């Protein structure tokens, strides 16, 4: 993607990534994003779930949703998504850091009215929460689709920022007798909990996509940025 005046990373420019694959990878792996918008010149931000389909980011909510109302009214949005990959412990306070991958996306959200596109967007939102799920669960009726507000933000003006690796200490601090290094982190799933309203036999048949869940594309992204996501203990 071509950096614009808004997406050109100024601080720590060596961490900037403008390639679409990295931007898409962060958006796909992040379980939520934050949508910022301005109301009468004052900042608002709301965390929400999202899904990417090609070069479009979809958001959804009830029609009364404040964020969506503002966006529908033509307000620009700034969407951020962030993955924390690890904690970085330097020999000085000053150089402590976190390893992360983040995306900042600017755009104008437009309301999706086409029922077929809304269905595609909602399927993507379900799949974003749990890949493989949309074929099992009941699809929405046209009435439900009409009652859901869906917004599309083009993924055109965006940048990613990535920090990987260990601490970078001042030369003068290298001789200090202090352990330094980094601690990889990742999102880990626990034991699935069946809905109490399921009967016993149904409750026991946990779908495979639930049992094997892991963050979308995390291994691939970990390899791409040269980080030790795979080294995290299972």
Pairing of strands 56-61, 76-89: unpaired
Cβ-based nearer residue to a copy of itself, 1 or 37: 37
The answer to whether 48 and 32 have CB atoms below 8 angstroms apart is yes
Cβ-based nearer residue to a copy of itself, 22 or 104: 104
Cβ-based nearer residue to a copy of itself, 55 or 230: 230
Smallest separation (angstroms) from a copy of itself to the CB of 152: 17
Smallest separation (angstroms) from a copy of itself to the CB of 54: 20
The answer to whether 101 and 129 have CB atoms below 8 angstroms apart is no
The answer to whether 24 and 220 have CB atoms below 8 angstroms apart is no
- Alpha carbons within 13 A on the beta-carbon side of 81: 25
Smallest separation (angstroms) from a copy of itself to the CB of 2: 19
Q: How many CB atoms lie within 10 A of CB 123?
A: 18
Smallest separation (angstroms) from a copy of itself to the CB of 57: 14
Cβ-based nearer residue to a copy of itself, 117 or 169: 169
């Amino acid at each position: 993607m071509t950096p614009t005046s808004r997406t050109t990373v100024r601080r720590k420019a060596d961490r900037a990534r403008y390639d679409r694959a990295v931007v898409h990878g962060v958006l796909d792996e992040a379980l939520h994003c934050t949508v910022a918008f301005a109301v009468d010149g004052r900042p608002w931000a709301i965390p929400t779930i999202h899904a990417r389909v090609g070069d479009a980011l979809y958001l959804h909510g009830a029609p009364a949703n404040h964020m969506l109302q503002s966006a529908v009214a033509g307000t620009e949005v700034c969407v951020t998504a962030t993955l924390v990959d690890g904690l970085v412990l330097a020999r000085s306070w000053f150089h402590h850091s976190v390893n992360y991958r983040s995306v900042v996306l600017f755009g104008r959200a437009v309301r999706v009215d086409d029922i077929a596109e809304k269905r595609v967007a909602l399927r993507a939102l379900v799949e974003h929460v749990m890949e493989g799920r949309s074929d099992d669960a009941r699809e929405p009726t046209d009435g439900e689709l009409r009652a859901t507000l869906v917004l599309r933000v083009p993924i055109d003006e965006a940048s990613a920022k990535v920090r990987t690796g260990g601490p970078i200490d001042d030369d003068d601090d290298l001789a200090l007798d202090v352990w330094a290094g980094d601690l990889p982190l990742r999102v880990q799933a626990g034991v699935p909990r069946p809905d109490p309203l399921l009967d016993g036999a149904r409750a026991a048949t946990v779908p495979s996509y639930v049992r094997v869940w892991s963050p979308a594309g995390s291994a691939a992204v970990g390899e791409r940025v040269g980080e030790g996501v795979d080294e995290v203990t299972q």
